[in-house]
Structure 1
Amino acid sequence: MAKINDRLSDVPGVAPGFGYAHAVTVSNGLAFVSGQIAVDAEGNLVGGDDMAAQTRQALTNLENVLHALGTDWTGLVKLTWFVTDTARLQDIRDVRDEFLRPALGDRPNPASTLVRVAGLFRPEFLVEVEAVVAVA
């Protein structure tokens, strides 16, 4: 049975999570990353009503968590997306590829699930992304 190794709550460049960890590592070499949203390090919304800009900030936050875990995009096992508007899905894909293509090259993207939701925890948020990551 896997045991919890560490809970990562303080990540440089990412707003603090209140009441949760940004990531939890377990003894089987996996880390589970909490949903990342479009906020800067001070907790301010980035991107307004722009799905691409919000996705870019959420992935920047995820990248910062990956680095704090000692890994990068190559350790990504699975992404789970929560979006309020699937008509803007291409914006998400384009930005995702800005982050993943340099790291993965021609290798396939990680496993992924996308869920359309009626809303996120604040109405101005359009996208949230969580991840499962392989760590050493």
Structure 2
Amino acid sequence: MPSQIDYLNPSNAPPAQGLYSHATRVSGGSLLFVAGQLAVGTNGDVVGKGDFEAQFHQVFKNLAVVLQGIGGDFRSVVKFTTYLVHSQDIDRFMALRAALFPGLFPNRLYPPNTLLIVDRLVKEDFLLEVEAVVGSG
């Protein structure tokens, strides 16, 4: 039984950094899969080269844009997967997330997150990437 698969690219999201769409919706299902978001500005340039905090904020800004573009928000997130390039950034990531998440998740219920350390991302200037699974309808 084939499903209808819709690939979604909200018009105000930054350009993809490879051959992928920002999100996928499977008709008849209730989950959307949001591609890993990077520190990319609307012009396609890397934001915050060498600055983990600037990249963190840009990644979550981009996630917000994509979530809004597909009719959701952070409260729709079922699960995050986070990729860091340097294990030394784990504590900084946790601190930035602890400061940001209470505003994104007012009920203080946070989705699961898998944290991985990888050799590099699609461009060497990127320090982190965050993808999401989102519930719809």
The aligned residue for residue 107 of structure 1 is 108
**1:3 and 2:28 equivalent?**
no
Following TM superposition, by how much is the alpha carbon of 1:122 offset from its aligned partner in structure 2, in angstroms?
1.3
CA deviation vs aligned residue, 1:39-66 (integer Å, no higher than 9, x gap): 1011111111111111111111111000
Contact 2:78–2:133 (CA<8 Å) still a contact in 1? Answer: yes
Q: Does the residue aligned with 1:130 lie in a helix, a strand or coil?
A: strand
Q: In 2, Cα distance between the equivalents of 1:99 and 1:4? A: 35
Q: In 1, Cα distance between the equivalents of 2:100 and 2:65? A: 12
Alignment length, in residue pairs?
136
Structure 1 unaligned blocks of 5 or more: none
- Tell me which moved more, 61-70 or 93-102: 93-102
**TM-score, normalised with respect to structure 1:** 0.89
Name the CA shift for 1:17/1:2 in 2 (closer, same or farther; >3 Å): farther
CA deviation vs aligned residue, 1:63-106 (integer Å, no higher than 9, x gap): 10000111101001111011111211232223334443113224
Q: In 1, Cα distance between the equivalents of 2:96 and 2:41? A: 17
Contact 2:10–2:66 (CA<8 Å) still a contact in 1? Answer: no
Cα RMSD of the aligned pairs, angstroms, is 1.9
Name the CA shift for 1:17/1:11 in 2 (closer, same or farther; >3 Å): farther
Contact 1:39–1:58 (CA<8 Å) still a contact in 2? Answer: yes
Matched ranges for 1:5-24 at <5 A:
5-16=5-16, 18-24=18-24
**TM-score, normalised with respect to structure 2:** 0.88
- Tell me which moved more, 104-113 or 29-38: 104-113
**1:41 and 2:46 equivalent?**
no
The aligned residue for residue 90 of structure 2 is 89
Q: Percent identity?
A: 33
- Tell me which moved more, 86-95 or 117-126: 86-95
Following TM superposition, by how much is the alpha carbon of 1:17 offset from its aligned partner in structure 2, in angstroms?
5.2
Contact 1:30–1:134 (CA<8 Å) still a contact in 2? Answer: yes
